């Protein structure tokens, strides 16, 4: 898989470890920044990652900021993106199995590097369950998205 990765200044240290995990799992990485600790704006990194995923240019995305909240909000504004903010292993697995999420958000100030790396491993290794109930629910989410973002 091709994984797009982005972080703001508050997530840049965790980003490097996550990129190593992604590569260790045999995936390709597109690093969309940032690569500094000076203050930057999280939408400038969340949106390009989300757009790559929504367009199919990347299979999935990983976003990191201080809490993960800003990144997940910004990414979820892009039609076709299902970004989950995850800080535990159960949610990492469930959000892939039940929600077919295509972008993962985490907070460097909330979790440490060991847990974040394990979350990334679980999230990248878990497949969507394809259960009828989950597909129906995702269809309803897609209907809402199309209601507010109709195709041109």
What angle (nearest 5°) sits at the alpha carbon of residue 33, between those of residues 117 and 7? 50
| CA gap 74, 144 in Å, rounded | 17
What angle (nearest 5°) sits at the alpha carbon of residue 77, between those of residues 32 and 95? 80
Q: Which residues are catalytic?
A: 65, 98
Q: How many CB atoms lie within 10 A of CB 127?
A: 8
Q: What is the CA radius of gyration of the chain?
A: 15
Write out the DSSP string of 62-73. EEEESSSHHHHH
Hunting for tokens 């990492």 — which residue is that? 92
| CA gap 44, 103 in Å, rounded | 16
């Amino acid at each position: 898989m091709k994984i797009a990765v982005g972080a703001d200044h508050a997530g840049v240290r965790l980003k490097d470890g996550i990129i190593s995990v992604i590569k260790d799992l045999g995936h390709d990485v597109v690093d969309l920044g940032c690569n500094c600790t000076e203050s930057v704006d999280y939408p400038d990194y969340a949106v390009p990652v989300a757009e790559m995923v929504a367009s199919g240019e990347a299979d999935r995305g990983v976003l990191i900021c201080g809490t993960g909240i800003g990144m997940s909000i910004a990414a979820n504004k892009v039609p076709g993106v299902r970004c989950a903010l995850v800080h535990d292993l159960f949610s990492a697995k469930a959000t892939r199995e039940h929600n077919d999420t295509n972008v993962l958000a985490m907070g460097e100030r909330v979790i440490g590097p060991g847990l974040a790396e394990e979350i990334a491993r679980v999230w990248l290794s878990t497949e969507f369950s394809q259960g009828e109930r989950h597909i129906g629910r995702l269809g309803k989410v897609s209907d809402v998205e199309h209601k507010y973002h109709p195709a041109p």
